[in-house]
Amino acid sequence: MKLDRLDWFFLILVFLILTVGVVDIWSASYQINQGSYASYPMKQLFWISFSGAIFVGLLFIPYLKFYQRAYFLYACGIALLILTIVIGKTVNGSRRWIALGPFSMQTSEVMKILIVIALARYLKDRPRLDRWQDLLPALGITFLPMIIILRQPDLGTAMLFIPILFAMLLAAGARVSHLILLIVIGINCLPVGYFFLKPYQKARLRTFISLGDLSASQRMGEAYQAYQSQIGVGSGGMLGKGWGKGTQNRLNFVPERHNDFIFSVHCEEFGFLGAMILLGLYFLLFLSGLSSASSSREMFGRLVIVGTITMMAMQVCINVGMTIGIFPITGLTLPLVSYGGSSMVTTFIGLSLIMGVKMRKSMIRSVLA
Amino acid sequence: MIRLRIHLLIAMIGLCFVVLLSRLFYLQILSGADYVDEAFSRIQRSIPIDPLRGAILDRHGEVLARNEPGFDLMVIPARVTPESRARVLQRMDIEEKDFELGMDEVRKVISREVRREIRYRYRERTLSVQKRVSRRLERQLRGRSWLLFPDLDNELFRKEIFIDKDQFPGFEIRARPIRRYPAGSTLCHVIGSMSKIFKEEYEKFRDRGYFLNDLIGRGGLEGLHEELLKGHRGLRVVERDSRGVIQKHLFYEPPADGHDLRLSIDLGIQQCSENALDEGLADARRRAQRLGTTPPGGGSVVVLSVPDGHVLAIASSPRFGISERRRRYTEMLEDPLHPLIHRPVGGYRVPPPGSVFKILTGIAGLETGKIDKLSTYHCRGYMHRPGVFKCLGRHGDISLIRAIEKSCNVYFYHLGEELGPTVLSSWARAAGFGERTGIDLPGELAGLVPDPAWKKEVYGKTWFPADSRYLAIGQGALETTPLQVARFMVAVASDGRLPIPKLVHDSVPETGLRLAMRPENLRLIRESMFRVVESGTARRSGLSSVRAAGKTGSAELGGGQETHAWFAGYAPVDNPKVAFAVLLENSGHGGDVAAPVAAKILRGIRDKFAGWK
């Protein structure tokens, strides 16, 4: 591996976003009742180092190995998901975690990457996607884990798979008419799907639909989290209240503030300017990833990049969207910023795959072409 | 081809980001200020801190009114269980129906709240919406804490609820300061009471720092000295976290407690006076029942300190417990004895003084030179014709001292005629009758001193000599309050000083008027008043044993009513400490009824004064 093949611009963007994350988590870890800071920032640094090691380790594996073992990995992932349903740890009414000694792993996080790899393999193997029948296995690969994850239940993660599938089909050259048909069917499934939701999911959805027109009791009840988060964001103004000075944050009004709602803390303390900078960094990161996808000639690598970037981009949109009240509340984290090991590891695996493709563009061409 | 599709994907992600940024722009830039307010309103709370209301004390510091912790039994209707209800019934030892009465009251309050809320917020909505909302509202309100029984006195039960909350779901105890009046009905008219500020009058009080439903002193000293007693609210501004736990104190202004009010009243003298008065009236009532005459009305006692004019006791009968005032109000309004009236300063009808007034007529005669120590009038038991302008006896040739001692009417008929109405009424005014004494109490009446001009104006009739005769013996249109009479006795007991009576101990003494009298005349009058007690109309009252001097009065009211019984005087004779007036309405003769009451009071209080044995 040669260092000069590394995309330094890409790495610097990742580093900057991680820094913003640690800074925000530091502020969000203030425990008003103890008057001290929780150990989240240090733990986050550990997870970053741990994930960084995986990132570097994976760079040494030629990504064609993933191509070869795509279905095997996918099967392992499905097994893990089923295991989670059976022996998983119940947190807040859903089984998403498997205990691994002192840590716990959110299996659906890993599954996201495995789906991307499996889909990439399938779509690469079938260069012509003219017929409906060619799309069906791709749908199957996506929907099988999605259904299991919905059973956990984890609506947010499951919903993430659809844009991933869509983006990868788009990049793989599926017919536009098929894609549009998929969208139409998907949209028509939404109202039907509502009846399969759990009550709390329905409540969140109702909250989301009516947020502009909330009664006082709703603001204290089901919409409390969303509304508190909005107050935090809104009261940040242009420049924010300053690092560690967000009252919604420090007085514990914003729920899950070091985790799902970290963006609310960021907006409250650094204002609209801070939000623009963070979203700008993300956009540059996605741009940088997708630009190498478009310049890559090799389909598997390209699809892996598209899938991973779409996954991250959708996570950013959904997470920020729920923080500012334009999306229902889900458990999706803000990649690279939210506190948490599973999400960090998954994101780094994705980044590592992207970097691997970036580094091996020329090499692969000579091998495969 | 591929490149185009990737660019399309980039555009889609870009579009999502544009949506996010526009929403952020809306939240943070366009409505940022609103959200800043919203965030602050969630965090900062202003908490008013009530001051402690000042106490009302007697001159020795005995408590007449004070704020003490009280405990209300509160109910949360939605959480009451049959068990907890049964337990409360048992602990409070009350009937099922009394409990339900209390609960009905709570229900009424809740439905009133609901109706108000509907009127206020949902007036323009459809009936079905209103119905739905009121059901929801009622459910909500039933989950709140409401006053069930105020001021629980069962301490054991109170503590049990505090300690064993789980045993009493739906019930709780709320502590609040309650104004207590440990002396019961003593001084009830003087002290006044506390009541809520109602919505209708709130406008008026708001600027003075009151809140709706605040208690405010009304009537009596509670009302008069409200500013002094109430103190000032403090304020605390705090920062609270999401659970409402206070995290930071931003501002604190301590409350300024109200000042105590120390009265000139001596609680011992006051209670002694009230008891003697009540007993005297009870005796009179028994006598009236026995004889089948008209029952007595109420009564008054005023005891003033001669050296400084302070009010030592001001008793009125009948009385009421101050804390019961509100509950019994309507009932008391209809009571023929008018317990709400404070009689010593006027009451509903200022009484005539009767023969007590003869002292003043005598002074006027001596000072104007119409009579002297030796001059006499002849009494045949009537003035000119038998049966008209009668006397109590046939006194023969009688001088001033004997005339006062025996309370001879004929003597004073003659003297009154000789003095004439103008001179006599001006002397009456000089002695402080016919206008308010200026005591620091609301509701004092001026009484009335009639003269020819007054009669002309009110009745359009001329003044007859008969009017002068009646005036001279304290009858006719003349009206004097017991307080005025007692103050007049201060003038006689001292050297003519007419101090402004004060109830508040530390108030700046005001000199007031002075009734100028020659010392030898004053000596003569005092001598005669001592004779009243020794051998005159009050000789059987036992007043001589407490070395008192005074004058009886039996004010005729006409209409077959029993006379008002008066006794006014001072004691001890050689070095007067107190001056007093006792009035028992419709109770009989002053010497038989009022003088014994005065004697009882003086016997009870003389130990309090050095040099009075």
In this prediction, residue B612 carries a pLDDT of 80
CATH number assigned to the domain covering B42-62+183-263: 3.90.1310.10
Q: What is the average pLDDT across B354-370? A: 94
Tokens of B108: 């009424």
H or E segment to which residue A351 belongs: helix A341-368
CB environment A187-214: b (16+ within 10 A), e (fewer): eeeeeeeeeeeeeebebbeebbeebeeb
Instruction: For residue B254, give the amino acid letter.
Output: P
Q: Which of A217, A229, A231 to mutate to test the interface with B (most CBs of B within 10 A)?
A: A231
What's the CA gap between B62 and B56, in Å, rounded? 9
Instruction: Give yes or no for A287 touching B (CB within 8 A).
Output: yes
Residue B367 has pLDDT above 50, yes or no: yes
Q: Which residues contact B486 (CB under 8 A, 6 or more apart)?
A: B302, B303, B304, B501, B568, B579, B580, B581
H or E segment to which residue B389 belongs: none
Q: Which of A294, A298, A316, A327 to mutate to test the interface with B (most CBs of B within 10 A)?
A: A294
Instruction: Give yes or no for A57 touching B (CB within 8 A).
Output: no
The DSSP 8-state label assigned to residue B548 in this structure reads -
Using alpha carbons, select from B473, B476, B480, B470 the residue that is nearest to residue B458.
B476
Q: What is the average pLDDT across B495-507? A: 87
Using alpha carbons, select from B109, B115, B145 the residue that is nearest to residue B133.
B115
Q: Which of A235, A299, A334 to mutate to test the interface with B (most CBs of B within 10 A)?
A: A235
In this prediction, residue B357 carries a pLDDT of 96
DSSP A124-193: HH-----SHHHHHHHHHHHHHHHHHHHHTT-HHHHHHHHHHHHHHHHHHT--HHHHHHHHHHHHHHHHHH
Q: How many domains are there within chain A?
A: 1
Q: Do B241 and A252 touch (CB under 8 A)?
A: yes
Do residues A40 and A28 make contact, with C-beta atoms less than 8 angstroms apart? yes
Rg of chain B in Å (alpha carbons) = 35
Going from the C-alpha of B61 to that of each of B64, B267, B273, the distances in angstroms are 9, 9, 19
Q: Which domain holds residue A255?
A: 3-368
Residue B31 has pLDDT above 90, yes or no: no
Q: What is the percent of chain A with per-residue pLDDT over 90, rounded to a whole number? A: 38
What's the CA gap between B99 and A77, in Å, rounded? 67
Tokens of B84: 């907890």
Tell me which chain A residues have a C-beta less than 8 angstroms from the C-beta of B11.
none
Tell me which chain A residues have a C-beta less than 8 angstroms from the C-beta of B13.
283, 286, 309-310, 313, 317
Q: What is the percent of chain B with per-residue pLDDT over 90, rounded to a whole number? A: 51
Residue B131: pLDDT band (50, 70, 90) is: confident
Residue A90 has pLDDT above 80, yes or no: no
Do residues B78 and B142 make contact, with C-beta atoms less than 8 angstroms apart? yes
H or E segment to which residue B554 belongs: strand B549-555
What's the CA gap between A339 and B270, in Å, rounded? 78
- How many CB atoms sit inside 10 A of residue B249's CB? 10
Q: Which residue has the higher pLDDT, B124 or A19?
A: A19
What's the CA gap between B468 and B326, in Å, rounded? 46
In this prediction, residue B596 carries a pLDDT of 94
What's the CA gap between B495 and A283, in Å, rounded? 105
pLDDT per residue as tens digits for the range B417-451? 999 999 999 999 999 999 999 898 988 999 999 99
The DSSP 8-state label assigned to residue B131 in this structure reads H
Using alpha carbons, select from B368, B326, B340 the residue that is nearest to residue B150.
B326
Task: Mark out chain B residues that contact chain A at CB-CB < 8 A.
Answer: 1-3, 5-10, 13-14, 16-17, 19-21, 23-25, 27-29, 31-36, 38-40, 42-43, 239-243, 245, 247
pLDDT per residue as tens digits for the range A111-154? 999 999 999 999 998 877 778 888 888 989 999 998 888 888 78
In this prediction, residue A305 carries a pLDDT of 94
In this prediction, residue B176 carries a pLDDT of 84
Q: What is the average pLDDT across B78-85? A: 88
Do residues B284 and B593 make contact, with C-beta atoms less than 8 angstroms apart? yes
Residue B279 has pLDDT above 80, yes or no: yes
Q: Which residues contact B476 (CB under 8 A, 6 or more apart)?
A: B352, B450, B467, B470
In this prediction, residue A207 carries a pLDDT of 62
Q: What is the SS3 assignment for B129?
A: helix
Residue A221 has pLDDT above 60, yes or no: no
Going from the C-alpha of A98 to that of each of A81, B483, B582, the distances in angstroms are 9, 93, 95
> Which fold is adopted by the domain B287-293+349-569+586-608?
Beta-lactamase (3.40.710)
Same fold flag, B42-62+183-263 and B287-293+349-569+586-608? no
Q: Do B20 and A236 touch (CB under 8 A)?
A: no
Residue B245: pLDDT band (50, 70, 90) is: confident
- How many CB atoms sit inside 10 A of residue A53's CB? 11
In this prediction, residue A368 carries a pLDDT of 46
Q: Which residue has the higher pLDDT, B507 or A237?
A: A237
Four-CA torsion B215, B219, B225, B226, nearest 10 degrees = 20
In this prediction, residue B550 carries a pLDDT of 95
DSSP B424-491: HHHHHHHTTTTS----SSTT----B---HHHHHHHH--PPPHHHHHHHHTT-TT-B--HHHHHHHHHH
pTM: 0.68
Do residues A248 and A254 make contact, with C-beta atoms less than 8 angstroms apart? yes
Residue in B6, B17, B19 nearest the CB of A290: B6
Q: What is the average pLDDT across B299-316? A: 93
Residue A216 has pLDDT above 60, yes or no: no
Tell me which chain A residues have a C-beta less than 8 angstroms from the C-beta of B1.
173
Q: Do A290 and B25 touch (CB under 8 A)?
A: no
H or E segment to which residue B66 belongs: strand B63-75
Tokens of B321: 């417990």
Residue A212 has pLDDT above 70, yes or no: no
Tokens of B429: 């005014």
What's the CA gap between A91 and B324, in Å, rounded? 60
Q: Which residues contact B394 (CB under 8 A, 6 or more apart)?
A: B379, B380, B381
Strand partners, A174: none
Do residues A102 and A108 make contact, with C-beta atoms less than 8 angstroms apart? no
Residue B304: pLDDT band (50, 70, 90) is: very high
Strand partners, B196: B215
Looking at every residue in chain B, the average pLDDT score rounds to 89
What's the CA gap between B272 and B117, in Å, rounded? 54
In this prediction, residue B471 carries a pLDDT of 94
Q: What is the 3-state secondary structure (H, E, C) of B254-278?
A: CCECCCCEEECCCHHHHHHHHHHHH
Residue A369 has pLDDT above 70, yes or no: no
Q: Which residue has the higher pLDDT, A313 or A92?
A: A313
Domains of chain B: which residue ranges? 42-62+183-263, 70-176, 287-293+349-569+586-608
Q: Do A290 and B242 touch (CB under 8 A)?
A: no
Environment class of B278 (CB within 10 Å of its CB; exposed 0-12, middle 13-18, buried 19+): middle
Residue A210: pLDDT band (50, 70, 90) is: low
- How many CB atoms sit inside 10 A of residue B372's CB? 13
In this prediction, residue A284 carries a pLDDT of 96
DSSP A215-282: -HHHHHTTTHHHHHHHHHHHHHTTT-S-TT--HHHHTT-STTTTTTTHHHHHHHHHHHHHHHHHHHHH
Q: What is the average pLDDT across B82-100? A: 86
Tokens of B268: 């011992």
Environment class of B213 (CB within 10 Å of its CB; exposed 0-12, middle 13-18, buried 19+): exposed
Tell me which chain A residues have a C-beta less than 8 angstroms from the C-beta of B122.
none
In this prediction, residue A366 carries a pLDDT of 45
Rg of chain A in Å (alpha carbons) = 21
